[in-house]
Amino acid sequence: SDGSLRYTTCTNGGPLFVYVKDGRILRVTPLEFDATDPSTWMIEARGRKFSPPRRALVAPHALTMKSLVYSDKRILHPMKRVDFDPDGERNPQNRGKSGYVRITWDEALDIVAKEINRQKRVHGPGAITFPMSSHHQWGNVGYYLSSLMRFANLIGFTRVAANPDSWEGWYWGAMHHFGNSMRVGVPAGYGGIEDCLKEAEMIVFWSSDPESTNGAYAGFEGTTRRLWAKELGIEFVHIDPHCNPTAQLFGGRWFSVRPQTDAALAQAIMYVWATEGLYDRDYVATRTTGFDEWKAYLLGETDGVPKTPEWQESETGIPAKDVRALARKWGGRKVYLAVGMTGTGFGGAGRGATGAQWARCMIMMMAMQGWGKPGINFGNLEIGIPHDLHFYFPGYADGGISGDLAFTGNAVNNYQRMPHILTMNPVKQMVPRQQMPDAIIEGKATGYLWDGMAQEAQFAPFTYPMPGYSPIHMIYRYGGSSLSTVTRSGRWVDAYRHESIEFVVNQSIWMEGEAQFADVILPACTSLERWDIGEWANSGGYAHHGVNVVNHRVVTLQHKCIEPLGESKSDYEIFTAILTRLGLGAVFTEGCSELDWVKRVFDSSDLPDHVSWKKFCRKGYYVVPPEKPELRQPVDMRWFAEGRRKDLPEPAPMPSQYAEQFGMGLQTPSGKLEFVPEIFKRHTTDNPDRPAVNRYIPSWEGRSAELSERYPLQMIATHSRYSFHTSMDGKNSAVNQVDDHRALIAGHRFWLLRVNTADAAARGIRHHDLVKIFNVRGAVICAADISPLVTPGVVKSYEASAEFQLIDVEGETVEIGGCLNTLTPDRSQTRGTSSMAPNSCLVQIEKWRNAEAFKM
């Protein structure tokens, strides 16, 4: 009615309508279905019928897209650092200090293309690196695993080997008890919604806050289902140092556990089960191995310390009587255990020094309770929707246009349906992500692989530099989040300024984070300014059937809604322009525009069987009809509990990975659920950090650590409720105005630090005072958010401030953007792994100068 055109798009927080008039975006709204879209599924449970709303319940950050497009932090033209001369003085020491001048695209592309050639000529393969983040704007064509991977492979590069950041404790620990390596050691969650609603009596949320983390991409799609569970009288319990938004919304008993002591609590619960017979004896006897050895440890027969509720009290801070009561209740009921964002793995508890101990306990607890029997499973009603999973559409990790068969899901997923020119990185050298700054500064680093192919892959170390290859001399950074998402991130500043780094190019949409440390900046555009295609929440790869979290399967054409702002270009166009200068333009594009690739992805999917290209383009989205009730996906692990052949719609494990008969048993050497993993017995006997019999080993950065005398508070900085990592924070995004996200004080939007009332009072800190949070690694200025919702002795905040802003105040350097990862330890959780352990980092806080003083 206002004369605008309605386009569609998809984001990390769900699909949107985008209203455009005269080349400008007027507004974005959550996508709503109409009468022509297929019907919605219904679940019957305990005499009630449940069906979700017929619209996309998107995340708050999705709705900020317009403000991101028109942000005043957009980079609108190519730029060069003022004191960078590619043919003369390069002044690496001034990165992040000196300013920029505008240059033309021609000049920028020439500098970058020439430098790529020079690096190869002078140093040889391996000198260039493309550090990649874990996420991207939505869409199968533009995704970093798609276009950027294709581009980087055509150039050749030292790979920055990612650590399994989302999965840490599961990959390095839990996986060895039950397999699921192709899911990085987390359970699958099939059929979990219906089973939970029909059967479960209680849900234990353990390090699980789906109202904040939204099953990653599902917005508030799961909220409705949890409300149904409340209506049905399913009891909720929360184990978390923070009375998180899920606990706040739904209520239920909150166990305020001290960070990283969870394994002690879990073991005390298992002690009660073991001694009071509150476990599934038949299941343990027939489906598992090693229980006697585990039980001996619980009872203290092996180390003289019975793991009683009294024993755990001084560690966790939870009274013994409460633990005993919880254990008895749990042991006598059908319980869903909810760990992390989907309830089936993840969780901040897994991203700390004791992360693997905790994740291992979670699997063992479920083994004791009969995992897979009706009402006994992992989940928090976030995953396991009765979708038609036979309908095929590729996820973003399934390779897109990359042609990369080694580091994406392409080889096992979409390649056969969309053959395109293969691309391969000829460089075998890798550098571990968390150690990359040290690799640059000290010239060496050791890492361990994240590879889901097999459980064994993680035991072989790799070293940097690798004989035969050049160390890194050029960084091609795409985006710029490391200062905020990598541990002890202040190291990056020194790495960027290191003399061995001859050239830094940054391709970013906004002037933030690492973009400020580049020699040449290439302006990219947002996904609303270019073509793409994607299915909501379909990540693919290690999260096979990831769509199982949203209520409807929605594939969207991601329209080019407006022309790119200023001189910005799509990433694909930038890559094409650089490769054209290297004579590889046509190899990269195969003669295709982005819209052509979108059509190729469309054709590779099952969409053409149901909707014409023309109709799809006009409507902008397609909703997959739900599965017929009789064909609904089976419940995860039910086959195992019943001793049948595996009946789940997933390709893993590989045929070679079954102990005896294909489809029978788990991906463990015994085929059973192993309380004492055989794989650990084989490979870690010389590593006390990774014992075969799981133990409670207090955190090396916990309350008993030496550091705690000077830094008595434990900081947990987990995933931000309102932004998606750095992506929707800062840059004057609408998210910035959310009071629960940043506080506007003296003209600056400060990152929030939630402090317990008693800890604040002891330090004379009042609500919204500026506080300095610090340790040996750095100091950050935040706004105090005083609240009883956080356990005393713990300060709660979030990772992923997009802004990184160092200022000097009376000789002291402090960071005022909110990059709390400048304080977290860079040490791996355990020896012999490349795992991040940001959680439970020891800090002190004090009231900082008042806001008026800050203004000067």
Q: Active-site positions? A: 135, 165, 396
Q: Is position 216 an interface residue for ligand MGD (rule: CB under 6 A)?
A: yes
Among the listed residues 76, 73, 123, 86, the one whose alpha carbon sits nearest the alpha carbon of residue 519? 86
In this complex, which beta carbon is closest to ligand MGD, that of residue 260 or of residue 633?
Answer: 260
- Candidate residues 717, 765, 842, 845; the one interacting with ligand MGD per rule CB under 6 A: 717
Q: Is position 379 an interface residue for ligand MGD (rule: CB under 6 A)?
A: no
Q: Is position 573 an interface residue for ligand MGD (rule: CB under 6 A)?
A: no
Q: Cα(656)–Cα(576) distance, rounded to whole angstroms?
A: 41
Chain residues 777-836 in contact with ligand MGD, contact rule CB under 6 A: 799-800, 821, 824
Interacting partner of 142 out of ligand MGD, Mo ion, none (Cβ under 5 to 8 A depending on kind): ligand MGD
In this complex, which beta carbon is closest to ligand MGD, that of residue 43 or of residue 449?
Answer: 449
Among the listed residues 235, 203, 225, the one whose alpha carbon sits nearest the alpha carbon of residue 45? 225
- Candidate residues 74, 90, 95, 135; the one interacting with ligand MGD per rule CB under 6 A: 135
Q: Cα(63)–Cα(439) distance, rounded to whole angstroms?
A: 39
Q: Is position 377 an interface residue for ligand MGD (rule: CB under 6 A)?
A: no
Rounded-to-5 percentages of helix, strand, coil across the chain: 30, 20, 50
Interacting partner of 357 out of Mo ion, ligand MGD, none (Cβ under 5 to 8 A depending on kind): none
Among the listed residues 360, 327, 329, the one whose alpha carbon sits nearest the alpha carbon of residue 345? 360
Question: Is residue 548 classed exposed, middle or buried when 0-12, 13-18 and 19+ CB atoms within 10 A define those classes?
Answer: buried
Q: 817 vs 257, 780, 835, CA distance in Å?
A: 29, 8, 26
Q: Cα(42)–Cα(268) distance, rounded to whole angstroms?
A: 40
- Candidate residues 725, 741, 742, 772; the one interacting with ligand MGD per rule CB under 6 A: 725
Q: Is position 420 an interface residue for ligand MGD (rule: CB under 6 A)?
A: no
DSSP 106-122: HHHHHHHHHHHHHHHHH
Interacting partner of 244 out of Mo ion, ligand MGD, none (Cβ under 5 to 8 A depending on kind): ligand MGD
Establish whether the linkage from the previous residue to 651 is cis, with ω within 30° of 0. Answer: no
Q: Is position 207 an interface residue for ligand MGD (rule: CB under 6 A)?
A: yes
Chain residues 320-349 in contact with ligand MGD, contact rule CB under 6 A: 340-341, 346-349
Interacting partner of 839 out of Mo ion, ligand MGD, none (Cβ under 5 to 8 A depending on kind): ligand MGD
Among the listed residues 133, 147, 135, 132, the one whose alpha carbon sits nearest the alpha carbon of residue 400? 147
- Candidate residues 129, 213, 589, 775; the one interacting with ligand MGD per rule CB under 6 A: 213
Neighbours of 704 (CB within 10 A): 11
Neighbours of 651 (CB within 10 A): 11
In this complex, which beta carbon is closest to ligand MGD, that of residue 193 or of residue 341?
Answer: 341
Number of residues that bind ligand MGD (CB under 6 A): 62
The beta strands (E) that lie in 229-275 are given as 235-239, 253-255
Q: Is position 727 an interface residue for ligand MGD (rule: CB under 6 A)?
A: yes
**Per-residue tokens: 292:** 């006697």
- Candidate residues 242, 545, 600, 748; the one interacting with ligand MGD per rule CB under 6 A: 242
Binding residues vs Mo ion (CB under 5 A): 166
Interacting partner of 718 out of Mo ion, ligand MGD, none (Cβ under 5 to 8 A depending on kind): ligand MGD
In this complex, which beta carbon is closest to ligand MGD, that of residue 551 or of residue 840?
Answer: 840
> What are 745's strand-pairing partners?
748
Place of tokens 């585990």: 294
Interacting partner of 346 out of ligand MGD, Mo ion, none (Cβ under 5 to 8 A depending on kind): ligand MGD
Among the listed residues 537, 702, 557, 711, the one whose alpha carbon sits nearest the alpha carbon of residue 619? 557
Q: Is position 534 an interface residue for ligand MGD (rule: CB under 6 A)?
A: no
Q: What angle do CA 164, 167, 173 make, to 5 degrees?
A: 100
Shortest distance, position 211 Cβ to ligand MGD, whole Å:
9
In this complex, which beta carbon is closest to ligand MGD, that of residue 425 or of residue 733?
Answer: 733
Shortest distance, position 506 Cβ to ligand MGD, whole Å:
9
Q: Cα(155)–Cα(167) distance, rounded to whole angstroms?
A: 30
Residue numbers at the binding site for ligand MGD (CB under 6 A):
59, 133-137, 142, 165-166, 206-209, 212-214, 216, 239-242, 244, 257, 259-260, 262, 340-341, 346-349, 351-352, 478-481, 485, 507-509, 513, 524, 571, 716-721, 724-727, 799-800, 821, 824, 838-840
